Amino acid sequence: MVVPESQGKMYHPPLELHRDAHVPDFSSYLVMYKRSLENPEAFWKEVADEFFWKKPATSPMLQYNFDVTKGNIFVKCMEGAKTNICYNVLDRHVREGNLGEKVAYYWEGNLPEHHTTITYGQLLSHSCRCANVLKQMGVKKGDRVSIYLPMIPELVYTVLACARIGAVHSVVFAGFSSESLCERIMDAKSSVLVTADGVYRGDKLINLKEISDEALEKCVEKGASSVARCLVIKHQALRTKTGASCNRLQTPWDSERDVWWDEAMSDSSEECEPEWLDAEDPLFILYTSGSTGKPKGVVHTVAGYLLYTFLTFKYVFDYQHHDVYWCTADIGWITGHSYIIYGPLANGATSVLFEGIPVHPHVGRFWEIIERYKVTKFYTAPTAIRLLMKYGQEPLQKYDLSSLRILGTVGEPINPEAWQWFYEVVGQSMCPVVDTFWQTETGGHVLTPLPAATPLKPGSATFPFFGVEPTILNEHGEEVEGEAEGYLVFRKPWPGIMRTVYENHERFENTYFKKFPGFYVTGDGGRRDKDGYFWITGRIDDMLNVSGHLLSTAEVEAALTLHPAVSEAAVVSRPHTVKGESLYCFVSLKDCKEFDKKMADELKRLVREKIGPIATPDFIQNAPALPKTRSGKIMRRILRQIARNEKDLGDLSTLADPKVVEVLFSQRSEATA
């Protein structure tokens, strides 16, 4: 790698950013990067020195095997050390850093009039009290706690409370259906569920407790009865919401199992000695879609995740102590875990915690929040940018966005048009855009610009973070040098990479390591250009990225075929101007069943119920037959082209019955959107 020469349009960091930046220019990045690969021991040791260790490590900073042919895959960071991540992100700041009075979160509710401030001192005391409540409910080190909550401060308290007592948190995004919640509770065998009575998302009232109850009933029906207690938060903002709409919410109650948060917290002590955990003890499970349809419980461990989220946050957002940082993700996803909770708190940062949606109660909501809190670093998703672009510049012009210094995106490739709008309109051409590529599995950013150091090319996640060694392989597993395109893989671990799939190490090895022994396979295609910049070319497995959420086609197909009239279903991606990709579903019905709008609506409802609103099909098309090879494999390439109305289908000779394609094209216009 060399300092990139300007080839095509590049965007250089503004001069004033260089001055105080942790990595002030590209040559400094190169020096540090080289050192992180050549001497990882010293590099990571220095990072670990920032933190408190009850017992030091007794082995090297990183040990691993990435080659399935040589034995089990494993990654270990700082084996032998004992620590507690909650202590490191809270007590350490309050006790040693004097940050007790510093704001940890500005919480902003669904409506602008609902907001509150939480200092580091308060965060510590609430988390300790919640930890004591969980202990009282019988939660012990190693037990799993499922958390199904909206973006409220109690969600952060609960996550940190688990971390404090060594319980493994499993946060389930509160947009998931009762079926998905049940599946995740059962897989983790959680003993406690933490939820809320309900939440407003925009105008819509969602009865979370009712969904939770349904999920718990389903668990029992399926023979699992692991959840003994359910802790329920009475969501303040709901109670203060004006009159009638609030009364609509009936909270079902099981007095044997359910406990109100307020009551339990009121006599709970704020003193809670942290549980000193092994560096490699699990910290959390977070489920992500798997290409077979069943979600995978990605497991992250204490020490490595702490080091990695700390360091990526510090460098990628060039964290300075006066910053007000805002990540718009939900804590139900990895971005929220790493870059709303652990990374910012490990640095002692002040963040905005936002419960609402970008367009409620008006389309300038994001800009209003940036002005209100004088946000300096703003991290969001391309899908949100594309949505807000549609409203033009006017909503922004009403607000003062001059506090902004650095912008960031995550979750999906950003199209150049959205990048340009983010950079020029939101950032006034003065704020670098860090396009961060990473995954639930990677724990933190792996390909990313550093804001004061990396000349930017719109749409490229640019270069590897410290300690990360990407490469590109061809179909035969051979590394391709220079300008090339193929499978994006990593040659060695960094501290924050996942350790296993919960209780299914074999699936972990098969998914990420079997295809190319010696490498972690991301499942994404990658391209390296002539300047060495990396570009993500999209998933190469049967995964879809809808509004930055990964969904597996198999998962949606499985939901569709649960309908008694459906004999077969195939789901493909179709480009969407706001969501990036959308779901186009082909369904074959059983004999004598009629396909009509009612049927399509039923199918959409079914998918919503089984997975959640994020998986709602955008199009459903009747498919009397699906295009298959002679061996019976569905040719998804052809379905994708039909969905996109691309008539030039190329070679159809492998199809068992090419006439199927004509029929599908002729019925295309009847697809129900």
Give the number of residues in contact with ligand WTA, rule: CB under 6 A. Answer: 22
What mask, x for binding ligand WTA by CB under 6 A, covers residues 445 to 474?
----------------x-------------
Pairing of strands 168-171, 144-148: parallel
∠582-179-215 over CA atoms, to 5°? 145
Q: Which residue is nearest to ligand WTA (CB)?
A: 440
The single residue among 200, 438, 494, 512 that binds ligand WTA, judged by CB under 6 A, is 438
Burial class (CB in 10 A: 0-12, 13-18, 19+), 654: middle
Binding segment (CB under 6 A) for ligand WTA, from list 90-98, 169-177, 522-530, 569-577: 522-530
**DSSP tag of 63:** E
Residue 338 CB, nearest approach to ligand WTA (Å): 8
Task: Classify residue 651 by burial, with Cβ atoms within 10 Å: 0-12, 13-18, 19+.
Answer: exposed
- Identified binder of ligand WTA from the candidate list 108, 197, 355, 412, rule CB under 6 A: 412
Nearest to 442 by CA among 472, 419, 410: 410
Q: What one-letter code names the amino acid at 67?
A: D
Return the closest-CA partner of residue 647 out of 629, 668, 632, 622.
668
Least Å from the CB of residue 500 to ligand WTA: 16
Per CB under 6 A, the list member of 524, 542, 557, 581 interacting with ligand WTA is 524
Strand ranges, E, within 43-134 = 62-65, 74-77, 82-83, 103-108, 115-119
Q: How far is the CB of 497 from ligand WTA (least distance, A)?
A: 13
Exactly one of 536, 551, 626, 671 binds ligand WTA (CB under 6 A); that residue is 536
> Nearest approach, Cβ of 413 to ligand WTA (angstroms)?
4
Query: Per CB under 6 A, does 550 bind ligand WTA?
Result: yes
Q: Which H, E and C letters describe 497-560, residue by residue?
A: CCCEECCCHHHHHHHHCCCCCCCEEEEEEEEECCCCCEEEEEECCCEEEECCEEEEHHHHHHHH
- Count CB neighbours of 314 within 10 A: 20
The two tokens of residue 19 are 């001055």
CB of residue 456 to ligand WTA, shortest distance in Å: 13
Decide if residue 432 touches ligand WTA (CB under 6 A).
no
Nearer to ligand WTA, 109 or 458 (CB): 458
Query: Is residue 435 part of the contact set for ligand WTA (CB under 6 A)?
Result: yes
Cβ-based nearer residue to ligand WTA, 448 or 588: 448
Which listed range, 230-238, 434-442, 464-472, 584-592, lies at the site for ligand WTA (CB under 6 A)?
Answer: 434-442
542 lines the binding site for ligand WTA (CB under 6 A): no
Stretch of residues binding ligand WTA (CB under 6 A), selected from 47-55, 256-264, 273-281, 436-444:
436-444
Burial class (CB in 10 A: 0-12, 13-18, 19+), 359: middle
User: What is the C-alpha separation between 4 and 449, in angstroms, rounded?
Assistant: 13
CB of 666 vs ligand WTA, minimal distance in Å: 34
User: By CB under 6 A, what part of segment 248-307 binds ligand WTA?
Assistant: 288
> Which part of the chain contacts ligand WTA (CB under 6 A), choosing from 65-73, 506-514, 519-527, 643-651?
519-527
- Is there binding between residue 521 and ligand WTA (CB under 6 A)? no
Q: Given candidates 437, 494, 512, 619, which one binds ligand WTA under the rule CB under 6 A? A: 437
The residue within the footprint of ligand WTA, chosen from 146, 170, 347, 436 (CB under 6 A), is: 436
- Whichever of 523 and 627 has its CB closer to ligand WTA, that residue is 523
Residue 579 touching ligand WTA (CB under 6 A):
no
Span of 392-400, 521-529, 552-560, 654-662 interacting with ligand WTA by CB under 6 A? 521-529
Q: Which is nearer to ligand WTA, 23 or 488 (CB)?
A: 488
> Least separation, in Å, of the C-beta of 335 and ligand WTA?
5
User: What is the phi-psi region of residue 629: left when phi exceeds 0, alpha when psi lies from -120 to 50, beta otherwise?
Assistant: beta
By CB under 6 A, residue 440 contacts ligand WTA: yes
Q: Which of 368, 367, 320, 365 is nearest to 344 (CA)?
A: 320
In DSSP notation, 565-622 reads TEEEEEEEEEEETTTEEEEEEEEEEPTTPPP-HHHHHHHHHHHHHHT-GGG--SEEEE
The answer to whether 231 and 146 are in contact (CB under 8 A) is no
Cα–Cα dist 247/205, whole Å: 11
H/E stretch holding 310 reads: helix 302-316
Pairing of strands 580-589, 566-576: antiparallel
Binding mask 320-339 for ligand WTA (x = CB under 6 A): -------------xxx----
Nearest CA to 422 among 465, 367, 503? 367
CB of 662 to ligand WTA, least distance (A): 34
Q: Which is nearer to ligand WTA, 85 or 414 (CB)?
A: 414
CB of 293 to ligand WTA, least distance (A): 16
From 344, 411, 443, 451, residue interacting with ligand WTA (rule: CB under 6 A): 411
With CA atoms as reference, report the closest residue to 341 among 287, 374, 305: 305
Q: What residues form DSSP beta bridges with 569?
A: 587
Let me know how long the chain is.
673
Q: Does 545 bind ligand WTA (CB under 6 A)?
A: yes
The answer to the question of residue 176 lying near ligand WTA (CB under 6 A) is no
Residue 51 C-alpha from the chain's centroid: 26
Pairing of strands 192-196, 433-436: unpaired
Q: How far is the CB of 461 from ligand WTA (least distance, A)?
A: 5
Quick check: 504 binds ligand WTA (CB under 6 A)? no
Select from 78, 182, 410, 642 the one that contacts ligand WTA (CB under 6 A).
410
* Residue 439 makes contact with ligand WTA by CB under 6 A: yes
DSSP state of 486: E
Binding segment (CB under 6 A) for ligand WTA, from list 221-229, 409-417, 424-432, 638-646:
409-417
**Residue ranges that bind ligand WTA, judged by CB under 6 A:** 288, 333-335, 410-413, 435-440, 461, 522-524, 536, 539, 545, 550
